[in-house]
Amino acid sequence: MTRDELADLLADQASYRVTQIWDGLYRHGTAPGDLTVLPLQLRARLAGNGALAPSLQADAQLEADRGATVKWRWALSDGRRIETVLMRMSSERPAAPDRANPRATVCVSSQAGCAMACGFCATGQAGFDRNLTTGEIVEQVVRARTEATRRGWRLTNVVFLGMGEPLANYDRVWPAVRRLHDDVGLSARHLTISTIGIVPGIRRLAHEDLPVSLAVSLHAANDELRSRLVPVNRRYPLAALTEACRVWQIAKGRRLSLEWALIHGVNDRRSDVVELAELARSLAAHVNLIPLNPTPGFATRGTPPEGVRAFRDRLADRGVNVTVRHNRGTDIAAACGQLAAAVAGPEPAAAAEAR
Ligand code: SAH
């Protein structure tokens, strides 16, 4: 529900009630039925309104990395499952009591399932169910923030790195971004859209007023290999993708990130370093390396740690700005789509123990 729709619904009430309810929803994460500042009768009336009711029901909540990573699997109102992951930054050292509250990032889903069919991705293996609504996207952030606050963390960053392809659900994702900025109060540059490379979507982002961050899941820097790993590359090949990235960079003046999941013997060879270095330098992009998380439907494993370090060093030698991202929550199936995939198999707790 938009703020205008809420105001229409409350046309018979004093106008400050709209502000109370809106702030309750987005600043405090409180459902209208639980807002004790409201008269009981109004609370009851709002609690009965489906458009204002919570849309996510937790059916699993798991922790990993000594409490620094929390993952939810939510049941949506139609029974479909999606996932959200909350990560405290700097997992290695717990925040000293005299330091400011540690910051946290939430990784949100934009679709139930995904139609992009990347073979190495658990969500891609499972296929597409439906787009999430703006409310279902925003609520993931609000619910994660409530948990972060409870733990003494500050939720500052949102990454659209969960299930789904955000730019394939643009018309709901962008209003969610607006809501997160305008009403939840997050800074635009701390909102990161990660895309497999939907060229028209990237071009649309270039025209938006909010300077959100952009990450492109590249994984291969030649069309032959990329089309094998990322089928949508056949529709939007590298030349079109890099051109759209350039348009976005010129319009926004922001640095682009490139994601590269290191797959052993597939995209971690010396020739891959050379191709990636050339592409990354031409876009002045930052490269994030992530060792592939194993998934049931993809036989090839991630690059071992020494190979990851060698790949990083070779890129850095070629003048590329590069970071290795650590796998978080591997013991709770926190890689994209793994937990939702487990719904058809054993219970998540059992699945985690079996690993
Ligand atoms: N569709 C968007 C966002 C969701 S996928 C995108 O492609 O960017 C989020 C990230 O996780 C992508 O970079 C994706 O390539 C990566 N990913 C998917 N499966 C993975 C796996 N098994 N191991 C490591 N990274 C994976």
User: Left, alpha or beta for 65 (phi > 0: left; psi -120 to 50: alpha)?
Assistant: left
Residue 303: C-alpha distances to residues 172, 202, 237, 262 (Å): 36, 30, 25, 6
Tokens for 14? 């004093």
Determine the distance separating the centroid of ligand 1 and the alpha carbon of 161, expressed in angstroms: 7
> Which tens digits make up the pLDDT trace of 59-96?
999 998 888 999 999 999 999 999 999 999 874 455 55
The confidence score (pLDDT) of residue 353 equals 28
> Which tens digits make up the pLDDT trace of 291-310?
998 888 888 899 999 999 99
What value does the mean pLDDT take over residues 230-259? 97
Task: Answer whether 3's CB lies under 8 Å from 9's CB.
Answer: no
Nearest ligand 1 atom, CA 160: 3
Strand pairing category for 191-195 and 213-217: parallel
Q: Give the closest residue (by CA) to ligand 1 atom 5.
A: 161
Nearest ligand 1 atom, CA 302: 23
**Catalytic (active site) residue 336:** yes
What value does the mean pLDDT take over residues 282-288? 97
Determine the distance separating the centroid of ligand 1 and the alpha carbon of 216, expressed in angstroms: 10
pTM confidence score:
0.91
Give the active site residue among 63, 83, 121, 165. Answer: 83
Q: Look up residue 309 and give its DSSP letter.
A: H
Q: Give the closest residue (by CA) to ligand 1 atom 13.
A: 217
The continuous run of DSSP H or E covering 17 comes out as helix 16-26
Residue 189 — very low, low, confident or very high, per pLDDT cuts 50/70/90? Answer: very high
Whether residue 238 has its Cβ less than 6 Å from ligand 1: no
Residue 342 — very low, low, confident or very high, per pLDDT cuts 50/70/90? Answer: low
Question: What value does the mean pLDDT of the chain take?
Answer: 90
Determine the distance separating the centroid of ligand 1 and the alpha carbon of 304, expressed in angstroms: 18
Give the 3-state secondary structure percentages of the chain, helix then strand then coil, rounded to 5.
Answer: 45, 20, 35
Of 204-213, 242-251, 274-283, 340-349, the least confident: 340-349
Residue 344 has pLDDT above 80, yes or no: no
Q: Look up residue 44 and give its DSSP letter.
A: H
What value does the mean pLDDT take over residues 43-51? 89
Tokens for 134? 């703006």
Determine the distance separating the centroid of ligand 1 and the alpha carbon of 301, expressed in angstroms: 15
Nearest ligand 1 atom, CA 165: 1
Greater model confidence, 165 or 100 = 165
